[in-house]
Structure formats: C-alpha cells, structure tokens
C-alpha cells in the first residue's frame, strides 16, 4: 500500500471529478481508494506517503496510435525527388526506406528512446504499429524488452503488407500470431498483442484472407491505417469497386477489437459501418496536417457514436500537443470557433480509456477504486481558478508534457522527480545515438 497526495487531483471520474487537496491510495497494481488527503492519510496511517506539494495528480495519458520505430527519423533528411510530394511519395521516399533498413538493435533502441520520451510526456500506455522488413521475426519481442525495462503499458503489432513480397507478408503474419499468443500468457498482462495490417492499398484479397484465417478465434483485433490518403480510397475503388471500410468490412477485418486509424476519406456510409461493427477509430491531427492528407471527419464520427480516440502517429509523443492540434484543426477546417474543444478532450481523456477497456480487464485512464494504478504528477501553478468546471481549460491551455514530474505504471514508480527509476536513461540514450548514427548510414 502507498499513498500519493497533497495534490490537486483530476480523476476523470464523473462521480468526483476534482479534489482540491486530494490523495490516491494504491495497493499492488490497483487504485484502492481516493479522496481528501487528510481523510485518506487517517484511513491508511502506516502507508508510505508521497507528498506532491500541490502538483496535479491525474491518470497517465494513453497514445492510441504511434510508431515506435520512427524515433530514428528525427533529424534525418532523405533525398526527395519531386517538389510537390504526394502522400504516396512521402511513404516511398521516407517511411518505407526507413522501415526497410531497421535491424534488431535499431528496433530495440528506437523502442527505448520512444518509450523514455513517452514516459517523460506522461504517457503510460501506447498502441504501437511496427514495421521492419529486415527484422520481422522477433521484432515485437525486441520492442517488448525495451518497454518492459522501462515499465510501460502497451499493445504491439507488426504491420503486414504485400509491398515487400509474399515472404515478408507470411513472416509478418507469423510474428503477429506468435506475439498475440505470447502476450496472452504474460504474467502481469501489461503488454498486449494485436494483429497489424499496413493499409488496404498494400494488401491483396489473398493476404487479407490469410490474415483472417491466421487470427482464427483469437481474442484480439486488427490495427490498420484506413483511408489516410486519397491513394488508399482510389485504389480500393479502382480495384474492388468498394470504399476502404466497405472492403475491410467485407474481408472481416472490422469489429469491436479492431482499431481503424485515420479514416480521413471515410464517408457517412463508412462511418455507419464503423458504428454497426463497433470498430474503434483513432484521430491523428498533427500527422494528417503534416502529410497534407486532409481533415478527418472526427466530429462527425463522435456525433454518430463512434469510439474515436486520439493518437500521434509518432509525430510527437506528447499527447497534450496532439490535444492542442485536435482542438485547432476542426475550428480551422470548419471556420467555426465553437467546435472542437470538448470533442478533443473526449477523445484523449475519455475515449482512449474506453479503448483500453477492450484490452485490459481492469479500467485504465481513470482514478477510481479498482482501476489500474497508472498515475502522473504534473508541476503546474494555475493563475486562474482551477476546479471541476475549469480543469479542461487548464489541461488544454496550461499543461504540456514538460510539466510531468512523476509517473507510476501498474502501481510502480517509473519516473520520480523527472528521474527514471528502472533504467539508466543517459546510458541508454547514448547507445541510441550511436545506433541511430549507424542506422543513418544504412538507410
């Protein structure tokens, strides 16, 4: 049993959303109590007490879509052969060159660097989508090793694609299946497995059939990019006479454990398909703006009851940065300053937790009795009243990932006063710099 208290507690729990001087009691991996600091301390007088001295205590952030491997791309400039790049050009000239060059050590050290940066930004759970055609078998175990050393919660998958030939697709299928089975047997259940698929336009009917057959009766979903660029939509219409989500639904890829990422070019019929199949969707506003693929119909999806979460697509690891972009893009796109605020908050702080509830048996992303103890403490001195009515404004406009001082995952401190508890961060990042320099020569 341990207590974290003397903080301004934002619970994200409707029964008691904000406690001015609050405390959370943790036993093992679970939150067992919360309330005013004095009453919780009196109830558990022998429990060690961490005094956060007025910092904000809240559930850790969840990143519903990222690519750990992309960390080695920071600062790397690859030759671009055209002045006006399409989304397809960006994939071919940048990302597909990078993921083709990754070896086992690259995968391991990019996972350490993304994992550590995520923790520094208060991210306690991430959903990763991985590709490394030269190191497919065992790639998810390399990532798992890094996340384990750090102590992160995560859901991993390998993106199957036809773009590197049938042998790579076959190996990708096997990697997903064996990792899903491995994760299902893990002792503390922190790491889960999904079945990764790249996108409709790089997957033939035959490969999709193989993926569905390999999934069999497993209790896991698919994690796939959907209608991100116009290329994906146009390919699906030209080759199959169907829109992307219509095709994926017919191929039995959708369902309540599947994550459909982006959906920028999804129309109302496709949103209805997401709804009727209870498929989860993820919005990645910064990535969409950076690739200039368009603005996803995120608000329309929320209005229509889609479980729409927020991801970064690895543009950043800071979910508060992604939150700010989600708030802005819809105001800008619709020339309407009255929209986007609460929908962005809902995506990050409510829907990402609901997405986790389809994978972990105990609640994640909320302070309530019985929830998993994934907590963060943020240094923040408000200069306007902070209470249940104003807290979302403070989260959106006042906080950033840089405010995060303490991170606890599964009841264990991962970072305390900005120092990593379980890993020698300087040594690991020095190795990552060495490894990434080597990688840059190979890419």
The number of beta carbons lying within 10 Å of the beta carbon of residue 144 is 23
Count of residues interacting with Zn ion (CB under 5 A):
1
What b/e sequence results for 10-24 when a residue is b if at least 16 CB atoms lie within 10 Å of its CB, and e otherwise? bbbbeeebbbeebbb
State the residue number with the nearest CB to Zn ion.
313
Piece in contact with Zn ion (CB under 5 A), picked from 89-97, 305-313, 376-384, 412-420: 305-313
Q: Which CB atom, from 246 or from 313, has the smaller least distance to Zn ion?
A: 313
Nearest distance from C-beta of residue 216 to Zn ion, angstroms: 26
Q: What is the DSSP letter of 399?
A: -
- What are the backbone dihedrals phi and psi of residue 168, each rounded to the nearest 5 degrees, phi first? -65, -40
Nearest distance from C-beta of residue 222 to Zn ion, angstroms: 14
* Separation of alpha carbons 24 and 36, rounded Å: 9
Interface with Zn ion, residue 159, by CB under 5 A: no
Nearest distance from C-beta of residue 314 to Zn ion, angstroms: 7
Nearest distance from C-beta of residue 87 to Zn ion, angstroms: 12
Interface with Zn ion, residue 232, by CB under 5 A: no
Nearest distance from C-beta of residue 175 to Zn ion, angstroms: 18
Piece in contact with Zn ion (CB under 5 A), picked from 97-105, 306-314, 344-352, 435-443: 306-314
Q: Which CB atom, from 50 or from 67, has the smaller least distance to Zn ion?
A: 67
Say if CB 117 and CB 146 are below 8 A apart: no
Interface with Zn ion, residue 313, by CB under 5 A: yes
Piece in contact with Zn ion (CB under 5 A), picked from 211-219, 309-317, 367-375, 417-425: 309-317
Closest by Cα among 119, 128, 127 to 401: 119
Nearest distance from C-beta of residue 355 to Zn ion, angstroms: 15
Q: Which CB atom, from 248 or from 407, has the smaller least distance to Zn ion?
A: 248
* Cα 354–Cα 362–Cα 325 angle in degrees, nearest 5: 30
Nearest distance from C-beta of residue 65 to Zn ion, angstroms: 6
Rg (CA), the chain: 21
Say if CB 307 and CB 276 are below 8 A apart: no
Q: Which two tokens stand for residue 126?
A: 């991430």
Q: Which two tokens stand for residue 337?
A: 């300053």
Q: Which CB atom, from 313 or from 406, has the smaller least distance to Zn ion?
A: 313
Piece in contact with Zn ion (CB under 5 A), picked from 18-26, 189-197, 240-248, 312-320: 312-320
Edge-to-edge strand list for the sheet holding 259-262:
195-199, 222-226, 259-262, 280-283, 308-310
Nearest distance from C-beta of residue 330 to Zn ion, angstroms: 20
* Separation of alpha carbons 219 and 375, rounded Å: 28
Indicate the burial class of 188 (C-beta count within 10 angstroms; 0-12, 13-18, 19 or more): exposed
Q: Which CB atom, from 149 or from 231, has the smaller least distance to Zn ion?
A: 231
Residues that bind Zn ion (CB under 5 A): 313
């Amino acid at each position: 049993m341990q207590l974290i208290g003397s903080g301004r507690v934002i619970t994200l729990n409707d029964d008691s959303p904000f406690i001015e001087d609050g405390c959370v009691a943790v036993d093992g991996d679970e939150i067992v109590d919360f309330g005013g600091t004095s009453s919780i301390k009196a109830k558990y007088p022998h429990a060690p007490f961490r005094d956060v001295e007025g910092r904000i205590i809240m559930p850790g952030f969840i990143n519903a879509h990222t690519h750990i491997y992309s960390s080695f791309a920071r600062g790397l400039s690859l030759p671009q052969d055209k002045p006006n790049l399409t989304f397809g050009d960006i994939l071919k000239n940048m990302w597909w060159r990078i993921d083709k060059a990754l070896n086992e050590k690259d995968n391991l050290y990019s996972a350490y660097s993304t994992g550590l940066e995520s923790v520094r930004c208060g991210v306690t759970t991430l959903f990763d989508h991985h590709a490394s055609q030269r190191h497919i078998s065992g790639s998810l175990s390399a990532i798992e090793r890094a996340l384990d050393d750090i102590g992160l919660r995560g859901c991993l998958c390998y993106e199957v694609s036809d773009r590197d030939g049938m042998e790579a697709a076959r190996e990708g299928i096997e990697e997903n299946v064996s990792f899903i089975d491995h994760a299902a047997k893990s002792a503390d259940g922190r790491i889960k497995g999904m079945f990764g698929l790249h996108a409709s336009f790089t997957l033939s009917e035959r490969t999709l059939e193989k993926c569905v057959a390999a999934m069999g009766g497993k209790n896991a979903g698919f994690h796939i990019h959907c209608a991100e660029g116009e290329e994906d939509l146009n390919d699906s219409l030209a080759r199959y006479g169907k829109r992307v989500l219509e095709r994926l639904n017919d191929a039995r890829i959708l369902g309540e454990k599947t994550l459909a990422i982006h959906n920028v070019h999804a129309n109302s019929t496709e949103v209805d398909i997401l709804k009727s199949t209870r498929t989860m969707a993820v919005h990645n506003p910064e990535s969409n703006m950076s690739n200039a693929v368009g603005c996803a119909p995120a608000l329309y999806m929320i209005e229509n009851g889609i479980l729409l979460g927020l991801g970064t697509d690895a543009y950043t690891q800071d979910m508060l940065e992604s939150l700010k972009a989600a708030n802005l893009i819809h105001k800008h796109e619709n020339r309407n300053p009255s929209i986007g605020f609460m929908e962005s908050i809902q995506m990050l702080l409510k829907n990402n937790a609901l997405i986790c509830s389809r994978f972990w048996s105990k609640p994640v992303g909320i302070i309530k009795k019985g929830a998993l103890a994934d907590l963060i403490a943020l240094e923040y001195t408000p200069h306007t009243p902070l209470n249940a009515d104003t807290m979302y404004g403070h989260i959106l406009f006042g906080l950033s990932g840089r405010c995060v001082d303490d991170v606890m995952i599964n009841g264990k401190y991962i970072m305390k006063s900005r120092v990593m508890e379980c890993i020698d961060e300087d040594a690991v990042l020095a190795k990552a710099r060495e490894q990434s320099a080597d990688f840059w020569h190979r890419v």
